Chains A and B, each alone.
Chain A
């Protein structure tokens, strides 16, 4: 799928006059807050950003609150409760552009691994008083519930990509967010391929770049936190990896932060499910 048009009307280029500062909100659902905090990592330009955009909702940084409307709403976290299903629908209605940020919002996140298990047993295994926990049977990406205009991937998202997104937003150009494989970044950086030179399983060839190839640069295989790239040929990679390891080990490689993304999920299913006690799979649609 081609990326949706993210440019705001009236923000097309340098000669469009001085448009209003876009009203920006940042909200979260089931997630750790790490992605929204990435905005605060843009330390050098934080004051300029705060001047060029009107940050009307960002609980991590300001007590100012807004119910909308938003020109752009950044959404972190997966949808895990019935309450969240209603809230994301409300937010969508008051947002001109809705952009999901991070592995939880874009793919369901690490918590989506529970989607393969019986929710009652998962609750009982985690909480001493599971009766107080009201969650859906599955943790799912925002795009399963409302239309999404754009996404920033990663666990957490890349400060560079967030900056690029914001700059593109205020200058009126298309954000440059590559959808190609991590491998290109390894080769550009001169990082030796851990898969070929050391036999370390690596999801780089099927994972979207944007992290700067951090894991391979430190001698680890990519574990896919940016989720599947365009044309992710997980079938071929999994087949190749299965020459040297059990089917369960192959499935486990894909069962990380973006396990619930469609190509990774299919591969996990084809190789015997996610790690842990394999319980009967549930129906996938309780929402």
Chain B
């Protein structure tokens, strides 16, 4: 088998025919509305022959070249993710009939496609997005199926546009791996390299002659010339580390004055993968469905959580989130840069913001390197627990056995299920809870018991209001258990301090029960419980019973109270900031509002508790639960997948930092 073959220009349709004979539809470059786009092609005649694109920040113009080349346009507006990670896919179908519900995943059969004209940078992008979508604990099945069903015919670049910088990102212009076939376009035809087993029969069926040495040489020389033209416009070496130390750079505010937060950069980016889920239903909410669509960290709603709090209200926060993720925390999460240097975000920015310029200003080569704000990766031995059984598309129907009123706005649903994966939940894990026609909130597990789970839910919006309004016999659909729970084993042989604020006691109750179940293995156990008012105290009878035990210390405090309250009034840290115990022997588990947890972490540290032994559980906008939708990102973490339980040491300065 020769190293390369030659396909005459006028025989390109024979290649198309061979791909069609392989059962594939062909997707490739064509011209629509003033730009090259990737779309389904019926013949090679639809390729953008003799056209090229002039790009600049905020500008893209097609131009006629006068030659007969088909692939001299740079990259198309839309990336291949349109076909591997479509902008809109159905996710679930649900039905409710009296108390019974059915929720099932909709997984479409992926079309068998051939991608013709994939650039080196785009090939790298396909790999990067694939790693993100398949990163544990459970990959996205739709993405995997679509990617696996595609055959890739790459075309090496013979020209560069002014916005190209693949050379800096080590993603091109040469195509060195990942394609099935690689074409190099010369004036009279194509040098064809076969790079995978799947490519062999396609080329064999064409009966091509071997490429002549001068043809191979011309192909090599032309891509080498492209590398020279692009140069090395972005100082990528050390960029991730420099960005980590630049989180407070004044340039973030300056670029935010220009940035429209319109999300174009993220939607044209070939690696950005963030999505949101929308719900549709009939008027009775009996037949419902969910769809997943592209979303962006530039939209205000992306960082919103229950109660309309928002973690990234400012455009500055959103631009910083995007840029630092792409070039820095992507390394922490997926072991590579999230940028391939295709330049789409530069050309398609409506106000011409040039990421190359912003990087040079925010993280110049001369930038001082200081301590990194968080450890580069989670410490050893803290891999997600008990998640191998989780399939993102699997819904478990559980039945409400009883409803326990807790406070004015919260109840505990006692759920019954015999699903082994759900029953294998660990303290600190959560489940996504779906009712047909409603949004799907993450709810932490407040008790794990034989035959079921308890979920303690506060009514904070319509979806949680619907859940707290359920009665015995009703059903809910669960996805989970999800996330990394409390590391109870780390507290064995040590004192345990548990600090809860309001509904934050719910995810801590399984810890308390697990520790008390093995009481002799732990030292002193101290519970510090805060609530807004006496009426907002959770699990009152249980906590009173604990307070009666000689081997557990329980102290309570409320923010405000009337004369009926005989206990302490104030904030929860007042319960232990003067305590006499030695924190160096203690492991702490903390849950409550984020500001309460920040204050608690400070006070615990003052009492001598090591930051590696202070564990807390964060609230973010967790939607997919498995790290593929992007909503709950916090610095190098996805809270759903890497948390929600973190140690203060792991979070570093990501904890409590505004706008992250």
In the bound complex, do residue B350 and residue A237 qualify as a contact, i.e. CB atoms below 8 Å apart?
yes
Q: Report Cα–Cα, A194/B349, bound state, in Å.
A: 12
Q: How far is the CA of A36 from the CA of B326 in the complex (A)?
A: 45
With A14-B285, A173-B463, A196-B60 already in contact, the answer to whether A233 and B471 are too (CB < 8 A) is no
- A181 contacts which of B87, B257, B262, B278 (Cβ < 8 Å)? B262
- Cβ of B210 under 8 Å from chain A: no
Contact of B299 among A168, A184, A236 (CB under 8 A): A184
Q: Do residues A236 and B465 form an inter-chain contact, with CB atoms below 8 A? A: no
Contacts of B348 on A, CB cut-off 8 Å? 193, 196
Task: Report the separation of the CA atoms of residues A221 and B260 in the bound assembly, to the nearest whole angstrom.
Answer: 16
In the bound complex, residues from chain B placing their C-beta under 8 Å from that of A174 are: 439, 461-463
Q: A167-B282, A181-B263, A236-B351 are in contact. Are A15 and B470 (CB under 8 A)?
A: yes
Q: B301 touching A181 by the CB < 8 A rule?
A: no
Interface contacts beyond A184-B295, A231-B300, A236-B351: sample of 17 additional A-B pairs, CB < 8 Å, sorted by A: A2-B308, A7-B462, A13-B435, A14-B437, A166-B283, A167-B281, A170-B283, A173-B462, A183-B262, A184-B296, A190-B82, A192-B33, A193-B350, A202-B350, A231-B261, A233-B315, A237-B350
Which residues in B have their C-beta under 8 angstroms from that of A173? 279, 285, 437-439, 462-463, 466
Binding site for B on A (CB under 8 A): 2, 7, 12-16, 45, 48-49, 52, 164, 166-168, 170-174, 176, 178-181, 183-184, 187-199, 202, 204-206, 219, 230-231, 233, 235-237, 239-240
Interface string of B28-54 (1 = CB under 8 A from A): 000011110100000000000000000
Interface size grouping (class) on chain B: 35 or more
Query: How distant is the Cα of A202 from the Cα of B351 in the complex, in angstroms?
Result: 11
- Would you give the shortest CB distance from A21 to chain B, in whole angstroms? 11
Contact B470 A181 (CB under 8 A): no
Q: Which residues of chain A are near B654, meaning CB under 8 Å?
A: none
Please tell me if B61 contacts chain A, counting CB pairs below 8 Å. Answer: yes
Task: Give the A-B pair count, Cβ closer than 8 A.
Answer: 182
- Chain B residues contacting A192 (CB-CB under 8 Å) are 32-35, 37, 77
Given known A-B contacts A197-B33, A205-B350, A187 and B474 have beta carbons under 8 A apart: no
Which of B33, B96, B465, B471 lies in contact with A12, CB distance below 8 A?
A: B465
Cα–Cα distance between A166 and B285 once the two chains are bound (Å): 12
Within 8 Å of chain A (Cβ to Cβ): is B58?
Answer: yes
Q: By the criterion CB–CB under 8 Å, are A171 and B281 in contact?
A: yes
In the bound complex, residues from chain A placing their C-beta under 8 Å from that of B438 are 13, 171, 173
Q: Which of A52, A166, A167 has the most CB of B within 10 A?
A: A167
CA gap between A140 and B37 in the complex, in Å: 43
Cα A52 to Cα B284 with chains together (Å):
8
Most buried by B among A15, A45, A196: A196
With contact pairs A167-B283, A240-B350 given, residues A187 and B263 touching in the complex (Cβ less than 8 Å): yes
CB-CB < 8 A to A166: which residues of B? Answer: 283
Cβ of B407 < 8 Å from any Cβ of A?
A: no
Return 7 A-B CB contacts under 8 Å, by A number: A14-B285, A15-B470, A180-B299, A183-B267, A183-B350, A184-B295, A196-B59
User: Contact flags (1/0) for B265-297 with A, using CB distance below 8 Å?
Assistant: 001100000000011111111000000011110
Task: Report whether A189 and B260 are in contact in the complex, using a CB–CB cutoff of 8 Å.
Answer: no
Nearest first, the 3 A-B pairs at minimum CB distance are A13-B466, A187-B267, A205-B262
- Chain B 509-526 against A: per-residue CB contact (8 Å), 1 yes, 0 no? 000000000000000000
Query: Is the CB–CB distance between A170 and B284 below 8 Å?
Result: yes
A13 to B62, CA, bound (A): 53
C-alpha gap A198/B59 in the complex (Å): 8
Which residues of chain B have a CB within 8 Å of any CB of chain A?
A: 32-35, 37, 58-62, 77-78, 82, 87-88, 96, 257-264, 267-268, 278-285, 293-296, 299-301, 308, 315, 347-352, 435-439, 461-463, 465-467, 469-471, 474
CA distance A174 to B474 in the complex (A): 21
- With A15-B474, A193-B77 known as contacts, the answer to whether A171 contacts B284 (CB < 8 A) is yes
Complex: chain A residue closest to B88, CB-CB: A188
Kindly identify which residue among B60, B264, B278, B284 contacts A197, using a CB–CB cutoff of 8 Å: B60
Which residue in chain B gives the minimum CB-CB distance to A240? B351
Say yes or no: A187 contacts B281, CB within 8 Å: no
Q: How far is the CA of A9 from the CA of B461 in the complex (A)?
A: 12
Q: Distance (Å) between the CB of B493 and the closest chain A CB?
A: 46
Q: Which residue of the partner chain, among B34, B78, B87, B260, contacts A205 with CB atoms under 8 Å?
A: B260
Known contacts A183-B350, A197-B33; decide if A233 and B268 are in contact (CB<8 Å): no
State the CA gap A169–B279 with chains docked (Å).
14
Q: Provide the bound-state CA to CA distance between A181 and B281, in Å.
A: 24
Bound CA span A176–B257, Å: 29
Contact partner of B35 (CB less than 8 A), chosen from A16, A52, A197, is: A197
A15 lies within 8 A of B350 (CB):
no
Chain B residues within an 8 Å CB radius of A176 = 278-279
Pairwise interchain contact A15-B469, C-beta atoms closer than 8 A = yes
In-complex Cβ contact of A233 among B88, B260, B283, B308 (8 A):
B260
Contact between A236 and B258, CB atoms less than 8 A apart: yes
Tell whether, in the assembled complex, residue A12 and residue B466 are in contact, meaning their CB atoms are under 8 Å apart. yes
Instruction: Determine the distance from Cα of A52 to Cα of B33 in the docked complex, in whole angstroms.
Output: 44
Q: Report A-chain residues with C-beta under 8 Å of the C-beta of B61.
A: 197
Are A231 and B315 in touch, CB under 8 angstroms? Answer: yes
Q: How far is the CA of A120 from the CA of B232 in the complex (A)?
A: 64
Q: Given A187-B294, A196-B59, A171–B264 Cβ distance below 8 Å?
A: no
Contacts of A164 in B (CB 8 A): 280
A45 contacts B283, CB within 8 Å? yes
Is A184 a contact partner of B462 (Cβ separation < 8 A)?
A: no
Q: How far is the CB of B62 from chain A (nearest CB, A)?
A: 8
Give the chain B neighbours of A14 by CB distance below 8 A. Answer: 96, 285, 435-437, 466
